[in-house]
Amino acid sequence: MGNYIENSTNKYTIVNCTSGDENYICNKLVEYNLSKVPATQKILFENINRKISDQNGQIIAGCVARMYCWHVLYIDILWVDEHYRGKGLGKIMLKDMEQTAGKKGCYLIHLDTFDFQAKGFYEKYGYEVFGTLENCPQNHCRYFLQKKLFDIIN
């Protein structure tokens, strides 16, 4: 069922989380974070998800992203159907995300990509590598990139 651990004064159980548990844990971390750095945006987590469809309504490109707490956007997924790659849809999607986020006051975007995905694509549009995770997956690299949309002025 669960793993049991103990120290000199307490016993604990480690088990799988429910979705309610996940929400609780996430909310507690957000509560702590905001106690250290107050939020600068009204909606703490705002999904900014976009898609491009063809004339038949079929999704051929999309982006899943979330602007969080301090006007920072994390792009989780940017995808273009393999039949439509090389036609500028990735650029259109990325620029649309930047404009949409910028209009909402976002000043910084970050994302990650693998060496077999789109590192050069993002660099072409002004994203800079700030970290590398080697052997993730094995014999490959995962790159973490960022782009400032504008500088914060105090």
Query: What CATH number does the domain containing 35 carry?
Result: 3.40.630.30
Is 153 a domain residue? no
Residue 129's domain spans which residues? 3-148
Is 25 a domain residue? yes
Least confident window among 1-5, 22-26, 110-114: 1-5
Is 126 a domain residue? yes
Is 23 a domain residue? yes
124: its two tokens? 């072409």
Distance, in Å, from the CA atom of 65 to the CA atom of 75, rounded to the nearest integer, reads 4
pLDDT higher than threshold 60 for residue 117:
yes
Is 154 a domain residue? no
What domain count does the chain have?
Answer: 1
The answer to whether 74 and 110 have CB atoms below 8 angstroms apart is: yes
**Mean pLDDT, rounded, for 73-94:** 97
40: its two tokens? 């600068």
The answer to whether 70 and 95 have CB atoms below 8 angstroms apart is: no
> What's residue 126's pLDDT?
97
